[in-house]
DNA sequence: GTAGCTTAGGAAAGCGGATTCCTGGGCTAC
DNA sequence: GTAGCCCAGGAATCCGCTTTCCTAAGCTAC
C-alpha cells in the first residue's frame, strides 16, 4: 500500500515492480504458472495486490478471443414481466460465469437494431432478444440479417417470445393463454366482453387477441372492434383504455387485459369510478406478474413461468447445441400457459 | 448480399473487398473521411453494408481509449426500487450515448467487489454503486480501495444511498423519511407500533430505524427490541415478519415496514389473517414504489423520487466535475423524503 | 519547366496482454 | 568432461483497429 499508483496500472507496471518480464507476470496472473518459481510467483502476486491491478478486459479479449459476456435486449427491465425474465437469464449467466449486459429498447425497433450491433461489437457470446416482435417486415428482415451475421461469426442467439426471428427460441403460449381467458369468461356467462390490448404492432398483441377470438368463436360470441382498445402495455394505458371502453359501452361485464400491468391500471380506473370488481365487471390479466396477487381484488390471470423462461432461454444460448443436429435447425421450446383463478373474475351481474 | 460472409468480418476484409487499405477503410467508417475521395468512400460503405461489418469494440477501445460504457451495481433490478432507479440512470446514460451495464449483486458484498473489478476491467467510464451499504468495515475498506484505484485511473464514481463510500453521492433522506413515518403514526395516537426492518447489516435499515426511534423519542414513546423484526427486504420477508410480530403481541395497532415491498407482504399476511387495515392495524411503507398505490388499501408511504435519483447520480457521474473544485471533495446531493398519505394508515382502534 | 504546396491514401507504429518461440543455465548420463 | 535434455523465464509476435507518418501524385506560380 506504500506508494499510491497513479493512472491506469498495466501489466508492464506489475512486471516492473516485481522485477520480472511481462510474460512471467502474465503467466502468474492467469494461473499458467507451471513454469514459474514460487519466489517470482509471490513477487508478482504481491505487486498485483499492491497496485490493485486489474487486467484490461479489452486487451485480453483481443489477445485471447474468449467471449465472456452475454447480452439481453428487453423492452424495459423495470417492467415486472421483463424483470422476472431477466432474473432467470441472470441466474444461468452467472452460473456460467458470464456477465449479463441488459439493454432496454423501450419498444423502439431502431434501438433494438442498434443494440444488436453494439452487442456484436462487444463480442458477446450470446444475444437474447426478449419480448414481443413487431409487425414490420422491413425491420424483421433487417433484424434477422444482423442476427444471422452474428451467428455466422459464432454467436449464439436465443429468443424469448418471438417467432419471427432466427435462433433458438422459448415461446410462451400466448394464443392458448388468451384462449383460456376467453373460455373462462364466456364460460361464466359473460356476453359483453371487451379487450384491452397492447400496441397493434406487437405480435404478442396479435397472438393473444387471436386466442380470445378463438374462444369467442367457440362460444358463438362476437368480439367486435369497438370492444377492442389498443394502448400502451402500461398501467396508465390500461386505465385509460378501461375508461374509454366503459364510456362507450356502459353495459360491459368483463374486461380482458392482455397483460397484468394493464389489468392493474384497469382495476385502478374502475375503483376510481366506483365500479365493483368482480360484482359489476370482471377483470382478468395475463402473465401472472408478482404483484398480480397483491392487488385487490387479486387478479385472475394467465401464469407464464417467467423466471423459468429466462432460465431456459439462457440455457439454450449457452449450452452448445448438439453437433449432430442440422446447424440451421433452431431448437424451439414451448412453455405452457395456465390459468390462475383469483378474485377478480366472477359471473356477470344479472 | 451476394456472397454470405463466413466467420467474423474484420476491417481488413472490408478493405480488401473495397480494394483500399485498412487505413482508408477505417477513415471512412469513423467519419474522418476528410481525406478520402467520394469514390473510395462509397466503395467502402458498400463493402461494410454487404459484409454487415461491425468493428470489434475491444480493438477499438484499445486503439483509441475512449470509454463508452457505464456500470451500475444494484442489489437486484427486478426489485422495483432498483428498477426505478435504473430507469433514471439509463435515461441519462442513453442521452450521453453510453451503454449501461447492469450488475446484480443480490446483496452479496463479495459479488459487489467482483463486479467493481469486472467493470474496471471493462474500462467503463463510470461506476454507480446503488443501494444500501453494509456494516462491515473490512468490506467497506476493500470496496473503497478498489474504487479509489479506479478513480486514480480516471474513472468516475457516483453512489446512490450510501455514505461510507468514496465518490459523488446522491443520498436519500432515509432517517428523515422514517422520522416522518413515526411522527405520522405516533401523531395519530398509536402506542404499540412495531417495525419490520430489513437485514441488520444494511446501513439503510439502521438509518431508517434511527428515524423511527427519533420520532418515538420525541413523542415520549418506546421502541423496544421485541417490536422490531429483521428480515429480508422482500415481500415474503415482510409477510413472515408481520405474522411473527402479531403472534408475539396481538395488541399491536401499527406496523412500519422499512420498505414498500415488505409492506405489501405485511398487507397480504394481515389480509390472510382477517386483520382489517387500517381499522385494526395501520401499515406504512417506504420508497413509494409504483405498486404502492395499487395495493389495497393503498399504501401510506414515504416518497423517494427514485427515477430522479437515478438521473442525478448518472449526471454526477458523467458531467465532468468543476475543475476549480478540490478534486478530492466529493459532491453530495441530498434528496428529500416526503410522506404520501393514502389509505393504509389511520387512527388506532379504540 | 521546375520549385514548392497541398492532399489522397498507403505503410507502419502502437494500444495492453496472451502466447509462442527462444535462449541459456543447470542437470543427467555416458 | 562433454553431449544432450529439461525447464525457467525473457523476447517477439499477434489480436483488430486507430492514427501518425510518409510518399507520391497533382497543383499553382514564377
| Residue B77 CA, nucleotide C24 C1', distance (Å) | 57
B 209-238 residues inside an 8 A Cβ radius of A = 235
- Give SS3 for B23: helix
pLDDT (tens digit, 9 = 90+) per residue, A48-101?
999 999 888 889 888 887 778 899 999 988 889 999 999 999 999 988 888 888
**Other C-beta atoms within 10 Å of A54: how many?**
21
Cβ partners under 8 Å of residue A123, min gap 6? A61, A65, A67, A69, B56, B57, B58
Q: Is the pLDDT of residue A290 over 50?
A: yes
Q: Using an 8 Å Cβ cutoff, are B263 and B142 in contact? A: no
Query: Is strand D within 7 Å of residue B113 (CB)?
Result: no
User: B162: Cβ under 7 Å from strand D?
Assistant: no
- Taking the alpha carbons at both ends of chain A, their separation in whole angstroms is 80
Report the distance separating Cα B153 and Cα B67, nearest Å.
12
Q: How far apart are CA A287 and CA A85, in angstroms?
A: 11
* DSSP secondary structure of B113-130: HHHHHHHHHTT-SEEEEB
CA B40 – C1' C1 distance (Å)?
Answer: 33
Determine the angle formed by the axes of helices B80-95 and B306-318, rounding to 10 degrees. 40
The mean-pLDDT minimum among A140-144, B69-73, B180-184, B316-320 falls in: B316-320
Q: Is the pLDDT of residue A319 over 60?
A: yes
Among candidate residues A75, A79, A80, the one with its CA nearest the CA of residue A289: A80
Under 8 Å CB-to-CB from A101, ≥6 apart: which residues?
A69, A70, A71, A72, A119, A122, A124, B99, B101, B102
* Chain B residues 322 to 341 with C-beta below 7 Å from nucleic strand D: none
pLDDT-derived band at B152, boundaries 50, 70, 90: confident
Give the Cα separation of B204 and B226 in Å (integer).
20
pLDDT given for residue A329 in this prediction: 78
Prior bond of B86 cis (ω within 30°): no
Residue A94's Cβ-count burial label (10 Å; 0-12, 13-18, 19+) is middle
> Could you give the CA distance from residue B178 to residue B118 in angstroms, rounded to a whole number?
35
Mean pLDDT for A322-332 is: 71
pLDDT tens digit string along A200-227? 999 999 999 999 999 999 999 989 999 9
> Which range (A114-118, A302-306, A328-332) has the least confidence?
A328-332
DSSP tag of B296:
S
Higher pLDDT, residue A280 or B77: A280
- Per the DSSP assignment, residues forming a β-bridge with A126 are A70, A156
Which residue has the least CA–C1' distance to nucleotide D18? B63
pLDDT at residue B5 greater than cutoff 70: no
Q: Strand D closer than 7 Å to the CB of A17?
A: no
Kindly state the average pLDDT of the residues B251-264: 97
Radius of gyration of chain A (CA): 26
- Three-state SS for B65? coil
What rounded mean pLDDT belongs to chain A? 91
Is 80 exceeded by the pLDDT of residue B3? no
> How far, in Å, CA of B131 to CA of B81, rounded?
9
Q: Kindly tell me the sign of the dihedral angle through the C-alpha atoms of A114, A118, A121, A124.
A: negative
Q: Which nucleotides of D are covered by protein (CB under 7 A)?
A: 7-12, 14-20
DSSP B17: H
Give CA–CA dist B149/B157, Å, rounded: 11
Cβ of A120 and B60 within 8 Å? no
A1-15, A182-196, B150-164, B191-205: least confidently modelled range:
A1-15
Give the three-state DSSP class for B293.
helix
Q: What 8-state DSSP symbol labels residue A319?
A: S
Please tell me what DSSP assigns to residue A66.
Answer: -
Round to a whole number and report the distance in Å from the CA of A47 to the C1' of C25.
27
Tell if the CB–CB gap between A121 and B54 is shorter than 8 Å: yes
A153 confidence band (pLDDT: 50, 70, 90): confident
| SS3 state of residue A333 | strand
B51 to chain A: closest CA residue: A149
**Average predicted confidence (pLDDT) for chain B:** 91
Mean pLDDT for the stretch of residues B38-51: 90
Position B4 scores a pLDDT of 45
What pLDDT is stored for residue A1 in this prediction?
Answer: 37
Helix (H, G, I), strand (E, B) or coil at A20: coil
By percentage, how much of chain B surpasses pLDDT 90?
73
* Alpha-carbon distances, residue B306 vs A27, B89, B289 (angstroms): 46, 10, 8
pLDDT for A94 equals 87
Q: Is residue B153 over pLDDT 90?
A: no
Average pLDDT over residues B140-165: 92
pLDDT at A322: 62
Question: CB distance from B68 to chain A under 8 Å?
Answer: no
Q: Are A313 and A72 in contact (CB under 8 A)?
A: no
Q: What percent of chain B has pLDDT over 70?
A: 95
The number of helix segments (H) and strand segments (E) in chain B equals 12, 12
pLDDT in tens, A161-200: 998 899 999 999 999 999 999 999 999 999 999 999 999 9
Instruction: Find and list the nucleotides of strand C having atoms within 7 Å of a protein beta carbon.
Output: 7-12, 14-20
User: Alpha helices, DSSP H only, in chain A?
Assistant: 11-18, 22-29, 38-51, 57-63, 80-95, 109-121, 137-152, 174-187, 203-218, 235-248, 260-273, 306-318
Q: Say if residue A262's pLDDT is above 70.
A: yes
Q: Please tell me which residue of chain A has the smallest CA distance to B7.
A: A153
Which of B159, B230, B220, B161 is closest to B191 using CA atoms? B220
Q: What is the pLDDT of residue B2?
A: 36
Whether B37 shows a pLDDT value over 70: the answer reads yes
Average pLDDT, integer, range B246-256: 96
- Determine how many CB atoms are found less than 10 A away from the CB of residue B162: 21
Q: Do A58 and B123 touch (CB under 8 A)?
A: yes
In this predicted structure, what is the pLDDT of residue A320?
A: 72
Which of A167, A125, A168 is closest to A145 using CA atoms?
A: A167
Say whether residue B103 is in contact with chain A using an 8 A CB cutoff.
yes
Q: Does B61 touch chain A (CB under 8 A)?
A: yes
Report d(CA B307, CA B85) in Å as an integer: 5
Q: Are B294 and A291 in contact (CB under 8 A)?
A: yes
Q: Is A346 left (phi over 0), alpha (psi -120 to 50) or beta?
A: beta
- CB-CB neighbors (< 8 A) of B145 in chain A: 52
CA distance readout (Å), B5 to A118, B17, B50, B53, B123? 19, 11, 9, 10, 31
- A77/B83 touch (CB, cutoff 8 Å), yes or no: yes
Is B94 in contact with B124 (CB distance < 8 Å)? no
Q: Do B153 and A8 touch (CB under 8 A)?
A: yes
| Cα B201 from Cα B134, distance rounded (Å) | 5
Q: Is B45 helix (H, G, I), strand (E, B) or coil?
A: helix
Task: Report how far residue A112's alpha carbon sits from residue A341's, in angstroms, rounded to the nearest whole number.
Answer: 36
- Note the pLDDT of residue B33: 63
| Chain A / chain B CB contacts < 8 angstroms | 134
* Partner-chain contact B57 A146, CB within 8 Å: no
Amino acid at each position: 500500500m506504500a506508494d499510491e499508483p497513479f493512472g491506469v496500472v498495466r501489466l508492464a507496471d506489475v512486471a516492473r515492480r516485481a522485477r520480472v518480464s511481462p510474460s512471467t507476470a502474465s503467466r502468474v496472473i492467469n494461473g499458467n504458472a507451471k513454469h514459474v518459481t514460487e519466489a517470482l510467483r509471490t513477487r508478482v502476486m504481491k505487486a498485483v495486490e499492491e497496485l490493485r491491478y486489474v487486467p484490461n478486459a479489452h486487451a485480453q479479449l483481443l489477445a485471447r478471443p474468449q467471449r465472456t459476456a452475454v447480452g439481453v435486449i428487453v423492452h424495459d427491465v423495470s417492467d415486472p414481466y421483463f424483470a422476472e425474465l431477466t432474473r432467470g437469464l441472470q441466474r444461468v449467466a452467472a452460473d456460467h460465469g458470464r456477465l449479463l449486459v441488459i439493454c432496454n429498447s423501450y419498444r423502439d425497433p431502431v434501438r433494438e437494431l442498434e443494440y444488436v450491433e453494439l452487442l456484436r461489437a462487444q463480442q458477446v457470446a450470446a444475444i437474447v432478444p426478449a419480448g414481443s416482435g413487431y409487425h414490420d417486415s422491413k425491420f424483421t428482415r433487417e433484424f434477422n440479417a444482423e442476427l444471422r451475421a452474428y451467428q455466422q461469426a459464432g454467436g449464439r442467439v436465443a429468443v424469448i417470445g418471438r417467432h419471427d426471428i432466427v435462433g433458438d427460441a422459448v415461446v410462451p403460449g400466448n394464443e392458448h393463454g388468451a384462449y383460456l381467458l376467453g373460455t373462462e369468461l364466456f364460460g361464466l356467462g359473460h356476453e359483453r366482453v371487451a379487450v384491452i390490448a397492447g400496441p397493434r404492432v406487437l405480435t404478442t398483441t396479435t397472438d393473444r387477441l387471436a386466442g380470445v377470438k378463438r374462444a369467442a368463436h367457440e362460444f358463438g360470441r362476437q368480439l367486435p372492434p369497438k370492444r377492442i382498445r389498443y394502448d400502451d402495455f402500461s398501467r396508465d394505458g390500461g386505465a385509460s383504455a378501461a375508461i374509454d371502453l366503459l364510456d362507450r359501452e356502459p353495459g360491459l361485464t368483463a374486461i380482458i387485459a392482455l397483460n397484468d400491468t394493464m389489468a392493474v391500471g384497469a382495476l385502478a380506473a374502475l375503483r376510481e369510478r366506483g365500479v365493483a370488481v368482480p360484482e359489476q365487471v370482471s377483470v382478468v390479466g395475463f402473465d401472472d406478474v408478482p404483484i398480480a396477487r397483491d392487488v385487490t381484488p387479486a387478479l385472475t390471470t394467465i401464469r407464464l413461468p417467467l423466471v423459468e423462461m429466462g432460465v431456459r432461454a439462457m440455457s439454450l444460448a449457452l449450452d452448445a447445441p448438439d453437433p449432430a443436429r442440422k446447424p440451421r435447425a433452431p431448437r424451439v421450446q414451448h412453455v405452457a400457459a395456465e390459468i390462475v383463478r383469483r378474485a377478480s373474475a366472477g359471473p356477470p351481474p344479472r
